[in-house]
Structure formats: C-alpha cells, structure tokens
Structure 1
Amino acid sequence: MKCFPSGNGCFWFMFLANLVFVLKCSLLAHAMLDPIDFLALQNIRKSLEDLPGSNYFASWDFTSDPCGFAGVYCDGDKVVALNLGDPRAGSPGLTGRLDPEIGKLSSMTELTVVPGRVFGCLPDTLSQLKNLRFLAVSQNFITGEFPASLGSLQGLQTLDLSFNQLTGSIPYSIGALPALSNIILCHNKLSGSIPPFVSQYLTRIDLKHNDLSGSISPTGLPPSLQHLSLSWNQLTGPVDVLLTRLNQMNYIDLSKNRFIGPIPTELFTFPIANLQLQRNQFSGQVRPTNLVTIPTIDLSFNRLSGEISPMFSTVQNLYLNNNEFMGQVPASFVDRLLASNIQLLYLQHNYLTGIEISPTVEIPISSSLCLQYNCMVLPLQTACPLKAGKQKTRPTSQCIEWKG
C-alpha cells in the first residue's frame, strides 16, 4: 500500500499495525508461563495480603512475567516452587486464606508459607500436587481437621504444619507415606493416637504440645529415626521395646506424658545429646553398664527406684529428683562435681541416706547441687530451685516406712 500525506487510510493502517505489535508483545510476555499457572497465581494473590510492614507482593505485577515475582520459581513454563511471604526473620508475613486454585500448580514440588496470619483450612486441592516434596505452613492460624488428603502425596518428604490450630487425628495415610523424612506437627490441637510410620527415610518426628493419647506400637517408628519429640501429650504404655530399636537417636523428649514401665539400659549407649523423660510414670531401677556420655539427662518426676548408678557421674546435667532412689550418693559424683565436670546435679525429693562430702567444701560457682528432702541430714547448704520447697529433710516416719 502506498502512503500519501493527505490520506487517512495510511494512518489507520499504521495504527492497527502498532496495536497488533503491542498485543503480540504482551501475549508473549504472558506466554512465558502456562496459562493455568498464570490464573492460579492471580487467584492466590487475590486471597492474600501483606501484613503491615511487609512488601512481599510489591513485585507481583501481572503485566510482567510471573516467574520474576518474589517467591515464585519456574522451570520452563511451569511453577515448581512457591514461597509465600518474605523469608527473612522478623518479617510480618501475610494474612488471608490459601485459595483452592493453588492445586492447579501441577508441577510444584515446594510450597512454603512464612509465619504470619494466614487462616482458614488447608485446601483439599493440595492433594492434586502429586510432585510436592516439601510442604511447610507453620506459625499461622490454620484451622480445621488435619487434611487426610495429604496422605495421597506419595513423594512428600517434609511436612511442617507446626504452630497452628489443627484438630482431629493424624491420618494413618500420613504414616504410610513412603518418602517422608521430616514430620513436624507440634503446637496444634491434634488428638487420637500416633499412627505407625513406615518410611525408612524418616529422621525427625516432632508432635509435642498436642492432645495425643494411646500407646505407641513397639514397631511403630522406623530405626532411621534420629529426633523424637512427643512431650506435652497424654501418651501411655511402655516404650522400652520401642526405644531399644531406635539406636540412631540423637535427641529424645518424651516428657510430660503417662508412659510406664522400665527405661531400657541400651538407651544410655545411643549417641544422644539430650534425653528428656521427666514427668512420666517410668519405674524400676536404672543401671547403665558403661559410663554415660549423654550431656543432659532428665529422669525427674517418675517412680524410679534403687541406688543411683555411678555410671551417671559423667553426665554434665543430671536431673534425678522426685523419684524413689535410695542409698548413698556415689563418691564419683562428688569428685566430678568438685572438679566442675558436673554442671547440675538435682537429687532432691528421693530417699537417699547420705553423701560423702565435707561440710566445709565449696561447690564450684559453675555447678549446682540440690540434696534437700531426702533421708539424710544435709552435710552442707546449697541453693535449690524454689519448687523444691522449704523442707530440708524428709520426715523420719517416711524414711522408716520406706526402708522397712
């Protein structure tokens, strides 16, 4: 077409040509992401807002390529990871709900929601994310029953829904996930029993601060486990057979439950850094066969009896208070205490009859010793925790009755 200065036809032709060019460029920019993923991200954005002080969504301008948005990671034309919220410590996080359209991001392998005020139920559509390996929505206000649909995510490796308000039981389908390596559900309102876990890759279970009950099957946890935290629940039954199988453990916290029975001797040979068994109903004698190398052991507030084993004298922080131990405190404890090798030794509220220590000796300032409320006249006065009470010695009638 020829163009003449006085003709309107050329003007409109050039205008239309430029308009087509602009539209093509816009479509190309959006075509970098799959249209289904593009629309899913739009819906996710509409259902969430920055809390005051957060600027996470400032980059979510849908006139540009969403693969450049904060927290959005793509492989080709698909979203493969979505980290919602600024991950830096102290960020205010987000508020709103997780839109069900999140389940349309079919190639996603990782979903994280940073701590904030996201509320409502987890959408059932998460079960559509068959490639999901990492799911973390912690320290928010997620409510509703634990979504059983997550049990269909056969590739899931890490599940962290801690510090929310989830209710209901942990589905057996979660325990059956074959690739699970970390499950962190602490600080919720979960009830019911703990399902058996079958994954041979499982290294961490954290279910503390819930309302779980019932006993744990002797084969309910895999030998691969290294970190086990079940404190502040209402779990019952013996655990000696179960614990004997978990010889890879480096952290155990079963405190504040209702476990019963003996504490297995083998437990004290495991590579554990911290052993918390306090405030249960464990009973019987505790007799390690070798010097114990676990730095911190808390067996307080149980029903343990017999004499205190000298094998515990190598423990740096040892809580044996509020049990039924009797007899003399081994001399090796005194030696290591005076050499500052023991930092804390709590033996109060037992039936101990003596300790060979000079009344004039000075306990190192870095060490703490409490002996009160036993069947002995205290050889020296030491600072005890306030909850130990004011009585220095147990009533004679109790000591005679116990010895008899």
Structure 2
Amino acid sequence: MLPMAKPKKTIINLSDFFFPVFLLQCKLLHVFAILDPVDFLALQAIRNSLQDMPGSNFFASWDFTSDPCNFAGVYCEGDQVIALNLGDPRAGSPGLTGRLHPAIGKLSSLAELSIVPGRIIGKLPESLCQLKNLRFLAISRNFISSGIPPTLGQLRGLKTLDLSYNQLTGDIPRSIGSLPQLANVILCHNKLSGSVPPFLSRTLTRLDLKHNDLSGSLSPDALPPSMQYLSLSWNRLTGPVDQLLNRLEQLNYLDLSMNQFNGKIPSRIFSYPITYLQLQRNSFTGPVQPADQVTIATVDLSYNRLSDQISPMFSGVQKLYLNNNRFTGQVPGILVDRLLAASIQILYLQHNYLTGMQINPTAKIPLSSSLCVQYNCMVPPVQTPCPLKAGKQTTRPTAQCNEWGR
C-alpha cells in the first residue's frame, strides 16, 4: 500500500486579503468623508429647500451617497465648497423653485454664489453675511422679495452684486455703498426706493439701477472716477448732475433718461468714450455746446428744456434726437449735408422753435435715414415721415413762436 501523500500546506497571505478591503474602505471614506461635514449638511438643507421646475433636471446628479464635489454646480477646493451655481445655466432652462435656506451661510469658504433665472421666492437669508470669502453674488431673474439685508455690507471682499429682475423693495443700504472692493452693482428692475447712497469703492466700474423707484439727488462725489457704465433710467431722481458727470471721464455708457434731473448738460461728456448717450425725458436746461466734434453713435437729448442754437459739432453723430426742446435758429447746414450723405441715420428736430433749414425741396433723403422737422417756427422744407407721436401739425402756431422769440 502506497503511503498516503501529505496534504499541501496552503499559505494564506493576510496582506492579500486585507489590501483590497483596505482599498474599499478608502474608497468609501473618499465618498462619504471627502467634504467637510458642515458643508455636507448645508448642501443637504439647500437641496431640500429647492426643487427643479418642470423640464429641469439640475438636481439629478445630487445623490448624497456619492461625492458632493461632483454635483452639478458644486465646486470644491480641498474639503470645502468654494463655488455654488444653482440651476442649469443653458438658455431656456426652466430653473428652480422654492426658497433659499439659511444654511447657505454655513459654506464658510464660499467665494461665488449664483442662481440662474427661475421662480425662487422669499427673502435673501441674513446668513449670507457669514460668507466672509464671498466675492461674487448673483441672484437675478427670480422672485426674491423684501429688502436687501444691510448685513451684506459685512462682505468686505464682495466684487460683484447682481440682484436684478426680482421683487426687492426698500432702500439700497448705505452699507452696500461702503464696500471697498465693489466693481459691479446691478440692482435694476426691482421696486427699490429711497436715495442712491454714495459708492466709495475706487474700483467700481458698473452701476445699473434702472427701473426702480429711486428719488432724491446725487451728490457730486456720489460715484468714483472709475465708473464706465452708469444706468439710472426710469426712476424719479432729481437735481443737477453736471459736477458729478465732469468727474466720470471713463464713462463708455450713460443712461439717465426718464428722471427729473435738471441744470446744464456739461460739454465735457461729449468727449467721453461713450457709444450711447441717453439723457432724454428730464428737465435739463440751457444751451448745449460741445467743445469738439461729437463722435458718439447715438445722442438722445429729447424731451428736455434745452435752448439756444443747435451746435454743428453734432454732425458726427449717427442717430441724433434733439426733438421736444426749445432750440432756436437755423438747422446747421453740415447736419443737412451729413443727412443727405447717409452719415446721419436719424435726425429728429421736431417740436422746437427752429426757424429755417437750408435744403433743396427736391433733395432725396436716403432710404437709410430719417428726418423730422415738423412743429417748428417754419414750414418744413421737405415732406418726410415722422413718428406718430410727433402729431399731425406741421408748423408751430405763430403766437408761440413770437412769445418764445421775445
């Protein structure tokens, strides 16, 4: 009988067994513990207070069994959230609905917060003031209501504040104007009231407050010389602005229309690098005499109380609206020449007290140009179509012309 063979010893290398388990444990730790627990809980609270509108699937990737730093709109550095962009930014996205949870203030390293257009309602959380690292705050085109928290003035590093197209009421806190690093303030299309606070930031380049209910006057030093874009239209602002505008030499866009500003229009602004100059529907008075040739594409000074003769320096403007003022004298010949050469596309001079215009009655106005001179102290030398709101009367009554000429 053959001797029984000894069974082979099976040597188990414990490291072969534990190493894959250790890797699995590491992966689980990576999934569940890579994010700071405070930030993790804050994201959960934010998610629970917001929902996708029908047709939106922004939150589809927000599965809290995986790494939150891989969620749509969440950007991390180390174990903390540094940027949060809520909602699908693609054009036509339905956006989000719900309310902003105060837990958003727990994201202590957050530097950027933006929310795309949607139907988010309610107040801005007071807890936003806890985000000491916040540089960019943009919550526009939603239904945010109530006032702007004055505590936002504690965000000393804030550079961009965009709360436009909401339902905000109350005044603009003076604490916002005192923020030292602001570059862009966009609060247009709300229901804000009160006065415009002075803005102290030496780096402010854009201020957009149009379509609100702001009132009061602007002090000569209300805005820094760094301003490039200024829109205050559709408010109830009053007072002179000549001293203020004389300081803003870097302006490339200016819209003060639909207010109650008065006083003179400073001649200096016509030399600024502005593309669109919109001062219409105010109460500006006096003559307008640019020192040099004006090369601004569009100049709208209509519906004011401007007087004296029209300056020939406006001949370099493509679209010139001087209608509904108190200009007198002859239309400068160079404006007529530029119109006939199609260099001036729009020349609206109706509803003034002009007494003459040298143009051949058989002259052909280019199809690309528009001229309106009706309702002045002269018979229009050429018949051209005018805007419907210019009325049907072609000549101002003689009694008005005599009264104004005294």
Same fold per superposition (TM over 0.5): yes
**Matches of 1:349 and 1:245, distance apart in 2:** 32
**Shift in Å, 1:165:** 0.4
Partner of 1:385: 387
**Matches of 2:31 and 2:389, distance apart in 1:** 67
* 1:165 corresponds to 2:167: yes
**Shift in Å, 1:26:** 3.5
Partner of 1:265: 267
Per-residue CA deviation, residues 265-322 of structure 1 (Å, 9 max, x unaligned), is 1111111111000000000000111110111000000000000000011100000000
8 Å CA contact 2:240, 2:263 repeated in 1: yes
**Matches of 2:307 and 2:200, distance apart in 1:** 36
Label 1:42 to 1:403 Cα distance change in 2 as closer, same or farther (>3 A).
same
Partner of 2:285: 283
3-state SS of paired residue (1:83): strand
* 1:396 corresponds to 2:398: yes
Q: How does 1:34-53 map to 2 (within 5 A)?
A: 34-53=36-55
Q: How does 1:79-158 map to 2 (within 5 A)?
A: 79-158=81-160
Q: Residue type of the partner of 1:304?
A: L
3-state SS of paired residue (1:151): helix
3-state SS of paired residue (1:45): helix
**Matches of 1:291 and 1:167, distance apart in 2:** 43
**Matches of 2:353 and 2:337, distance apart in 1:** 22
**Shift in Å, 1:146:** 1.3
Q: How does 1:305-384 map to 2 (within 5 A)?
A: 305-384=307-386
**Matches of 1:343 and 1:293, distance apart in 2:** 14
**Matches of 1:42 and 1:149, distance apart in 2:** 25
Per-residue CA deviation, residues 200-237 of structure 1 (Å, 9 max, x unaligned), is 11000000000000000100100000000000000000
**Shift in Å, 1:361:** 0.7
Q: How does 1:241-260 map to 2 (within 5 A)?
A: 241-260=243-262
Partner of 2:196: 194
Match of 2:60 among 58, 61, 76: 58
**Matches of 1:28 and 1:307, distance apart in 2:** 76
Partner of 1:3: none
**Matches of 2:25 and 2:290, distance apart in 1:** 78
Q: Residue type of the partner of 1:158?
A: T
**Matches of 1:367 and 1:324, distance apart in 2:** 24
Partner of 1:296: 298
Partner of 1:232: 234
TM-score by length of 1: 0.94
**Shift in Å, 1:84:** 0.1
Q: Residue type of the partner of 2:313?
A: M
3-state SS of paired residue (2:138): strand
Per-residue CA deviation, residues 320-355 of structure 1 (Å, 9 max, x unaligned), is 000000000000011100100000000000000010
**Matches of 1:380 and 1:297, distance apart in 2:** 24
**Shift in Å, 1:21:** 9.0
Per-residue CA deviation, residues 71-114 of structure 1 (Å, 9 max, x unaligned), is 00000100000000001111110000000000000000000000
**Matches of 2:374 and 2:83, distance apart in 1:** 58
**Matches of 1:353 and 1:317, distance apart in 2:** 22
Q: Residue type of the partner of 1:395?
A: P
**Shift in Å, 1:365:** 0.3
3-state SS of paired residue (2:167): coil
**Shift in Å, 1:20:** 10
* 1:182 corresponds to 2:193: no
**Shift in Å, 1:23:** 7.3
**Shift in Å, 1:145:** 1.1
**Matches of 2:237 and 2:381, distance apart in 1:** 40
3-state SS of paired residue (1:345): strand
Partner of 1:15: none
**Shift in Å, 1:395:** 0.5
- Give the root-mean-square deviation of aligned CA atoms: 1.4
Q: Residue type of the partner of 1:54?
A: S
Identity of aligned residues (%): 70
Q: Residue type of the partner of 1:98?
A: L
**Matches of 1:336 and 1:361, distance apart in 2:** 13
